[in-house]
Amino acid sequence: MFTRTHTCGELRASHIGQTVRLNGWVNSYRDHGNLIFIDLRDRYGVTQLVFDTDDAKNAGAADAGDKHAHTGMMGAADKLRNEDVISVEGTVRIRSGGENPKLDTGKVEVVVTSLVLLNKTENPPFLPDVIGTLPNEEVRLKYRYIDLRRPAMQKIVSTRSKALQSVRKYFVDANMFTEVETPVLYKSTPEGAREFLVPCRNVPGSFYALPQSPQLFKQILMVSGCDRYLQICRCFRDEDPRADRQAEFTQIDLEMSFVRREHIMTMMEGFVRHFWKDMLGYDVPPMQRMTYRNAMETYGIDRPDTRYGLHITDISEIAAKTDFKVFRDALAKGADRPRFNSKRGVVKAIRVPGGAEKLTRKITDGYSDLAKRFGAGGVATAKYIADPAGAKFDTGCAKFLEPIKAELVAALGLEPGDTLLFIADTYSVATKAIGELRQQVARDTNVVPKPGAEGGPWNFLWVIDFPMFEKNKDTGKWIAMHHPFTAPRDDQRDLFVSASVDDDDTIESIVSAGYDIVLNGSEIAGGSVRIHDRDVQSKVFQLLGLTPEQAKEKFSFLLEALSFGAPPHAGIAFGFDRLIMHICGTDNIRDVIAFPKTQVGADLMTRAPSAATPAQLKDLFIASTWTPEPSKA
């Protein structure tokens, strides 16, 4: 009936003379009266169809008809509009009007002898064949099925599909991983991200949670002897989204038994190499490694973008030698703390080459606002300029810098024409603020290369040696930096076991066996060697402030499993959506998800979430406490 013989991207000069049937959407039409061109589109491409009164008759169309009388096939072709779905039969021939080099099928056209209108469309809100600006995202999301017809979106969808195959090829086919599915209805463990809850009808008043990750199941699988586990799984975190983050996202979840850090890093680096080769033909060079401390010191962030310099320098010792109140006050904070302690007062600086010209007063004024958003007091600035009497500091806090000029020039490699930016505060505040500042300066001075997909460098990086714990600013309690099942680095075990609950400085200094993969400033994977020793796991819970009773209530199954022959194991999870973003060169995660959600978790197409009926709630023993706020107007 309408079984096609070819796709719309398939026909070439070699098909000339053949009778073919094509199905697809009307991409555009050019109506010349008794000659009508239709560009027919499917996901493989576009083919030009011709409806010609004379030709159709010559080609043997049963009912060629006449457009002006609105009869037969010509009359029907005259009524075709963009996005109508049609099936046509016809003959392939060379284009007599010259080829169209923009189309893969541009040498040929199909003279239609039979037209079937499979489905007439309403006037669509926008056309997949976008000329100029895309409609705004609200419209694209509401009519997602139209947006997905766009070739650019079709390409992403198929790239994502190919990527899934590539993942399985490496792990399952080549490296003996077993793909295992774990529950989506899961036990609530209210550490970490906020969870989505699912009421349980059979046990009134109780709830499942949707998993933030299958972390504990995959560890239990290791105890089960699974040995090498893979799951391409959906995870749920009820937190506000960002450009590269959705509440519902996909992870490539992995775990291996009988390995330590080096083994799993080698395996995963092999995957990255395979994946980029498979997807883009790119050979990933051996990946650099950077410690967390080095990343924080030099880049002010745990996922450094190493495609550009603008390195951060700690000038605390030099800054102590000048009488600048901003520096002095900062350095007085936690002066008795160890060198890298989060509470120690520090002064950090960035040298911006050529900044004296590139960074206007307006731009640098904005930097203080940026620093304030991250808790710092502001940004001190000074230009270093050429002068007949020798290069000198100018503007900003210049006069305070003259006494330490020689040392600053040596420490920072200053050249005339540079601008210096300073942030002075506690280690944790100054580090974060100047790390954000560095990225803003990079954007302002145009030193960020195009993304790798557009020909820029792919800078892969392992970040290792994370702290085990960090302090929660609000509660003052220790929390696991990665998660509570992360093991201390092998050489830290004695220090860890000896740490007492109230010894903050020691707890802060313990290094974990965690590792992240960072690509161009974006975290694409994170994992760790896991704790496989029940006593070590109990100690972690203790340091996190869980009583033995609480630990048992929440994690008894894990502690029991660890005591019944748990092998050493380690794992990692890749953010699959982010991998696809990099491969496709987009900075919007919604572009790589077929049916994404908005900032408030809404699906604009289906209108989810929606209210439940009283009957549904009654079945679930749920009552809502929500009431609309009375209007203030």
Partner RNA sequence: GGGGCGAUAGCUCAAUUGGUUAGAGCACCGGCCUGUCACGCCGGAGGUUGCGGGUUCGAGCCCCGUUCGCCUCGCCA
Rg (Cα) of the chain, in Å, rounded?
Answer: 31
For the sheet containing 418-426, what is the strand order?
312-314, 345-352, 418-426, 380-385, 392-394
Candidate list 192, 270, 449, 568; residue touching RNA; CB under 7 A: 192
Q: Is 263 helix (H, G, I), strand (E, B) or coil?
A: helix
Give how far Cα 516 sits from Cα of 213, 289, 332, 571, Å: 16, 10, 34, 11
CB-nearer residue toward RNA: 103 or 409: 103
Among 1, 3, 119, 133, interactor with RNA by CB under 7 A: 133
Q: How far is the CB of 190 from RNA (least distance, A)?
A: 10
Stretch that binds RNA, among 95-103, 153-161, 273-281, 530-538 (CB under 7 A): 95-103
- Chain centroid to Cα 554, Å, comes to 31
Does 435 bind RNA (CB under 7 A)? Our answer is no
Angle at 116 between CA 17 and CA 87, to 5 degrees: 55
Told to check if 228 binds RNA by CB under 7 A, we report no
Residue 103 CB, nearest approach to RNA (Å): 7
Among 5, 18, 19, 34, binds RNA (CB under 7 A): 34
Label the pairing between strands 228-236 and 248-257. antiparallel
Q: Are strands 108-119 and 45-52 parallel, antiparallel or unpaired?
A: parallel
Q: Which is nearer to RNA, 168 or 194 (CB)?
A: 194
**Options 127-135, 153-161, 360-368, 610-618: segment touching RNA (CB under 7 A):** 127-135
Q: How far apart are CA 633 and CA 627, in angstroms?
A: 17
CA 377, distance to chain mean position in Å, is 31
From the CB of 619, what's the least distance to RNA, in Å? 27
Name which position in 150, 168, 234, 245 contacts RNA (CB under 7 A). 245
- Cis amide leading into 457 (omega within 30): no
From the list 488, 532, 527, 483, the residue with the least C-alpha distance to 265 is 527
Smallest separation, CB 119 to RNA (Å): 14
Site for RNA in 206-225 (CB under 7 A): 212-213, 215
Instruction: Name the DSSP class of 169.
Output: I
Does 368 sit near RNA (CB under 7 A)? Answer: no
Residue of 193, 510, 617, 620 that binds RNA (CB under 7 A) = 193
| Out of 240, 503, 535, 553, the residue judged to bind RNA by CB under 7 A | 240
Which ranges of 512-605 would DSSP assign to H, the alpha helix? Answer: 534-543, 548-562, 576-584
Would you call 625 exposed, middle or buried from its count of C-beta atoms within 10 A (0-12, 13-18, 19+)?
exposed
Per-residue binder mask for RNA (CB under 7 A), 568-597, x = binder: --------------------x-x-------
Number of residues that bind RNA (CB under 7 A): 80
Our finding on whether 374 is near RNA (CB under 7 A) is: yes
Q: Kindly identify the residues of this chain, within the stretch 504-543, that bind RNA according to CB under 7 A.
A: none
60 binds RNA (CB under 7 A): no
Applying the rule CB under 7 A, the residues between 379 and 398 that interact with RNA are: none
Write down the residue that tokens 């802060």 correspond to: 508
Contact between 66 and RNA per CB under 7 A: no
Stretch that binds RNA, among 117-125, 196-204, 266-274, 501-509 (CB under 7 A): 117-125
Q: Which two tokens stand for residue 121?
A: 């469309």
Which part of the chain contacts RNA (CB under 7 A), choosing from 118-126, 152-160, 414-422, 559-567? 118-126
12 binds RNA (CB under 7 A): no
What ranges in 417-547 are assigned the alpha helix state H? 427-444, 493-498, 504-509, 534-543
Residues 284-343 that bind RNA (CB under 7 A): none
CB of 409 to RNA, least distance (A): 33
Six-digit token pair at 20? Answer: 């073919």
Dig out the tokens for 567 from the structure.
Answer: 């092998």
- Least CB distance to RNA at residue 403 (A): 35
The DSSP annotation for 360-409 comes to: -HHHHHHHHHHHHHTT----EEEEEE--TT--EEESTTHHHHGGGHHHHH
Q: How far is the CB of 242 from RNA (least distance, A)?
A: 4
Q: Which positions from 463 through 502 interact with RNA, judged by CB under 7 A?
A: 473-474, 479-484
Among 23, 82, 113, 182, binds RNA (CB under 7 A): 82
Rounded to whole angstroms, how far apart are CA atoms 379 and 173?
A: 53
Exactly one of 39, 42, 147, 577 binds RNA (CB under 7 A); that residue is 39
Residue 27 or 316 with smaller CB distance to RNA: 27
Which one of 15, 237, 532, 582 is in contact with RNA (CB under 7 A)? 237
Q: Under the criterion CB under 7 A, does residue 123 sit at the interface with RNA?
A: yes
Question: Rounded to the nearest whole angstrom, what is the least distance from the CB of residue 231 to RNA in the complex?
Answer: 14
Pick out residues in 162-191 that bind RNA (CB under 7 A): 189, 191
Closest CA to 371 of 350, 344, 402: 350
The answer to the question of residue 104 lying near RNA (CB under 7 A) is no
Binding status of residue 362 toward RNA by CB under 7 A: no
User: Does residue 135 interact with RNA by CB under 7 A?
Assistant: yes
What's the min distance (Å) between Cβ of 23 and RNA? 20
**Shortest reach from residue 393's CB to RNA, in Å:** 31
**DSSP secondary structure letters along 548-570:** HHHHHHHHHHHHHHHTTTPPPEE
Spatial contact of 154 and 592, defined as CB atoms under 8 Å apart: no
- Quick one: 223 or 404, whose CB is closer to RNA? 223
Q: Is the CB of 32 or the CB of 450 nearer to RNA?
A: 32
CA distance 231 to 330: 48
Of 155 and 373, nearer to RNA (C-beta) is 373
Alpha helices, DSSP H, located in 195-307: 215-223, 261-280, 292-299
**Is residue 37 near RNA by the rule CB under 7 A?**
yes
The crossing angle, in degrees rounded to 10, of helices 548-562 and 215-223 is 40
